[in-house]
Amino acid sequence: MPEHYEDSRLYRIRHSTAHIMAQAMLERIPEAKIAIGPPIEDGFYYDFDLPRPLTEEDLNWIETRMKAIMREDHPYTVREVSPDEARAFFKGQPYKLELIDDLQNGRVDDNGNRIAEPADTMTFWTQDTFTDLCRGPHVENTNQINPDAISITYKMPAGAYWRGDEKRQQLTRIYGTAFETSEELQDYLHRLEEAKRRDHRIVGERLGLFTFSQIVGKGLPLWKPAGATLRDTLERWLRDVQIENGYEPVVTPHIGNIDLYKTSGHYPYYKESQYAPIDVDDEQFLLKPMNCPHHIMIYKSEMRSYRDLPVRYAEFGTVYRYEQSGELHGLTRVRGFTVDDAHLFVTPDQLLEEFKAVVRLIQYVFNTLGLTDFRARVGIRDPKSDKYVGNDADWEHAAAAIIQACQEMDLPHTVEEGEAAFYGPKLDFIFRDVLKRNWQLGTVQVDYNLPARFELEYVAADGSRQQPVMIHRAPFGSLERFVGILIEHFDGAFPAWLSPVQALLIPITDRHVPYAQEVAAKLKAAGIRFEIDESKNRMQAKIAAARERHIPWLLIMGDRDQQAGAVSVRLRTDEDLGQMPLDDFIAMAQRVINDKAMALG
RNA sequence: GCUCCAGUAGCUCAGUCGGUAGAGCACACCCUUGGUAAGGGUGAGGUCACGGGUUCAAGUCCCGUCUGGAGCUCCA
């Protein structure tokens, strides 16, 4: 995206193409009500209220008609109109009338705050037979849009609520895109296809990493051995890193008494996104939607001195949230997932340094995996919402600490209202999937509220009782979502240390199988994960199959290798390292694995 | 949750006008023992997602449910 996309020619082309789409729609379905049609990052959309569902034929017709309109050389003209004139023109177009009213009165948000000044005039933009209420700008003539460089993006209409409000009319949205040259369009469409091929739901299925069962339930992933191996490897690594950094393991159960969540303040706010309570002996239990209350109860189980702090409790804790069915998505949005959770209990003096140490740990995790394509977001309260607990002073302190830490660490970040947790502000690390959808992974949250609500304390140096501050943090966020993003990041070709199968042994003929088994015994002793392909297939077929699984090292062995006590090593990158003494291969593989290296040799 | 689309073998898909189901891959067995991107043959595998309806007859048409997909909304 250019630096000033909104000033670019591409932006005007896309905006103008959206108007042409609306014109074509009104020609196809004259009763259509038109809503809005803005440019977006990779194209544009237009929302319509239609009397019937659209068909693929409709979309093809509209696309063809759009191209024809472009070739007809219609100028774009603009004129100023009064609100009354605008209303007269758009009689029978309720969405436009609502926009006209808002422009005249000045836009007001849901809380009654003015977000735009009242306007005495507004502008109409016209091309050919179509006029739209629009601030522009547009290209000068439809012939400035290349008909061979536009496309309806999905040959399938999408639903969208009027003004993004699920309580209002649902409209039909058509996405399209436009470029300056057909090469750029083809390139874009090609990249979209490539991205879909990398989708973790497809790659994960093909690699046998996970599956879903209708009987187990939607949004509840089942990890197959290969996926569980990858996940376990990540867990063991992070567990070790955390222990080096002063964390202590804790383990807590999957359910907890509902009173825990009433005390946390969490139950009333998020009641609708939880599984229903479990009734047992006149008590109610919740499948835990978060781990913090359990960890807090461990903190509270002993008298704490300032000398004990920081206390850092870490657990790979599985939580359950009742997500809306339409939001479930592969591994990246599920109903049961494991958080690489930790809760730090610190003195106010320790907060800043501990926060920075946590951010450093998260950066170390991302760097090791080569994940660089993320943004950092400081989420603070929406000042107009009532869905938060606690007092203003604590919220200010917490947000100030987060922002100060980011500045001191030179971490580029945005500050966004309404993105806080209900108990405190947070720093989130957000990644995009192959289709540019945003997913929050790592998170660090500063919390003065739960320590107060649970009456946590420690004995200070002067003997007084003081309240600790909590830091909630999860570098991966959830193992499920993190692995989903990793699959797409690596397109299934994981670094050797994470690969479920690191070496595939390929005996050239049956008589080499015993030698392969000897080799296997040595690999096993060396801690290298392997499989032997003992199928009756020819070596070429074994190699082809292994390539599809992105197995890092292929060890081919025939007479020559057996006689030499060697293996012939081929990398998944197709590089042929030739014959190597087995011990040399093992040493090389161990080095690559221990270094968590990206390269294989 | 909402709108729209889809569901046929383990996977990817074909199946015309309504006339009782097919291919490739994978799997099993046989032949082939081959040195770096898929050798050949044979076979097994199906409640056409599930339930109901229309019909002499339903994979095909209609209704409902479930599951998946796109988008929206939501997301501790």
- Residue A511's nearest nucleotide, by CA–C1', is B33
> Strand pairing of A503-507 and A530-532?
parallel
Query: What pLDDT is stored for residue A596 in this prediction?
Result: 97
Mean model confidence pLDDT for chain A: 92
Taking the C-alpha atoms of residue A345 and residue A313, their distance in angstroms, rounded to an integer, is 9
Helix axes A9-28, A56-71, angle to 10 degrees: 120
How much is the average pLDDT of A433-442? 84
How much is the average pLDDT of A31-58? 90
Q: Alpha helix (H) ranges present in A301-346?
A: none
Task: Encode pLDDT of A461-470 as tens digits.
Answer: 999 999 999 9
CB A88 within 8 A of CB A165: no
Q: Does the CA dihedral A136-A137-A143-A148 come out positive or negative?
A: negative
Q: Is the pLDDT of residue A189 over 90?
A: no
Work out the percent of chain A whose per-residue pLDDT is above 70. 98
Work out the percent of chain A whose per-residue pLDDT is above 90. 78
Answer whether any strand B atom is within 7 A of the Cβ of A333: yes
Residues 6+ apart with CB under 8 A from A149: A178, A179, A180, A181, A182, A184, A185
Strand B nucleotides with an atom less than 7 Å from a protein beta carbon: 1-5, 11-12, 26-28, 30-39, 66-76
What residues form DSSP beta bridges with A384? none
Which amino acid, A520?
A
Q: Which residue is nearest to nucleotide B29 (CA to C1')?
A: A536
Instruction: Give the pair of three-digit tokens for residue A369.
Output: 């995996």
How many angstroms is C1' of B63 away from CA of A54?
Answer: 22
* Res. A2 pLDDT band, cuts 50 70 90: very low
Task: Encode pLDDT of A143-155 as tens digits.
Answer: 999 999 999 987 7
How much is the average pLDDT of A284-307? 95
Which amino acid, A52?
R
Task: Encode pLDDT of A381-393 as tens digits.
Answer: 987 777 888 888 9
Task: Encode pLDDT of A47-67 as tens digits.
Answer: 999 988 888 888 889 999 999
SS3 A554: strand
How much is the average pLDDT of A73-79? 94
Of the candidates A461, A435, A32, the one whose C-alpha atom is nearest the C-alpha of residue A194 is A435
Query: What pLDDT is stored for residue A373 in this prediction?
Result: 85
Answer whether any strand B atom is within 7 A of the Cβ of A165: yes
Query: What pLDDT is stored for residue A155 in this prediction?
Result: 73
Answer whether any strand B atom is within 7 A of the Cβ of A575: no
DSSP state of A537: S
Query: What pLDDT is stored for residue A196 in this prediction?
Result: 85
How many angstroms is C1' of B40 away from CA of A538?
Answer: 12
Total Cβ atoms within 10 A of residue A391: 10
Cis peptide before A310 (omega within 30 of 0): yes
Query: What pLDDT is stored for residue A3 in this prediction?
Result: 59
Answer whether any strand B atom is within 7 A of the Cβ of A514: no
| C-beta within 7 A of nucleic chain B, residues 52-81 of A | 53-54
Q: Is the pLDDT of residue A1 over 70?
A: no
Residues 6+ apart with CB under 8 A from A332: A200, A433, A439, A480, A481, A484, A485
Taking the C-alpha atoms of residue A571 and residue A430, their distance in angstroms, rounded to an integer, is 33
Query: What pLDDT is stored for residue A284 in this prediction?
Result: 92
Answer whether any strand B atom is within 7 A of the Cβ of A545: yes
Answer whether any strand B atom is within 7 A of the Cβ of A337: no
Interface confidence: ipTM more than 0.95: no
Answer whether any strand B atom is within 7 A of the Cβ of A385: no
Task: Encode pLDDT of A156-175 as tens digits.
Answer: 778 999 999 989 999 999 99
Answer whether any strand B atom is within 7 A of the Cβ of A168: no
Of the candidates A484, A600, A488, the one whose C-alpha atom is nearest the C-alpha of residue A552 is A600
Strand order across the A278-280 sheet = A255-257, A283-287, A278-280
Taking the C-alpha atoms of residue A391 and residue A409, their distance in angstroms, rounded to an integer, is 28
* Res. A113 pLDDT band, cuts 50 70 90: low
Instruction: Give the pair of three-digit tokens for residue A381.
Output: 């309260």
Of the candidates A365, A386, A388, the one whose C-alpha atom is nearest the C-alpha of residue A442 is A365
Taking the C-alpha atoms of residue A31 and residue A93, their distance in angstroms, rounded to an integer, is 10
Give this prediction's pTM: 0.92
Query: What pLDDT is stored for residue A114 in this prediction?
Result: 61
Instruction: Give the pair of three-digit tokens for residue A577.
Output: 């390292």
Answer whether any strand B atom is within 7 A of the Cβ of A539: yes
Minimum mean pLDDT range among A267-271, A317-321, A499-503, A533-537 = A267-271
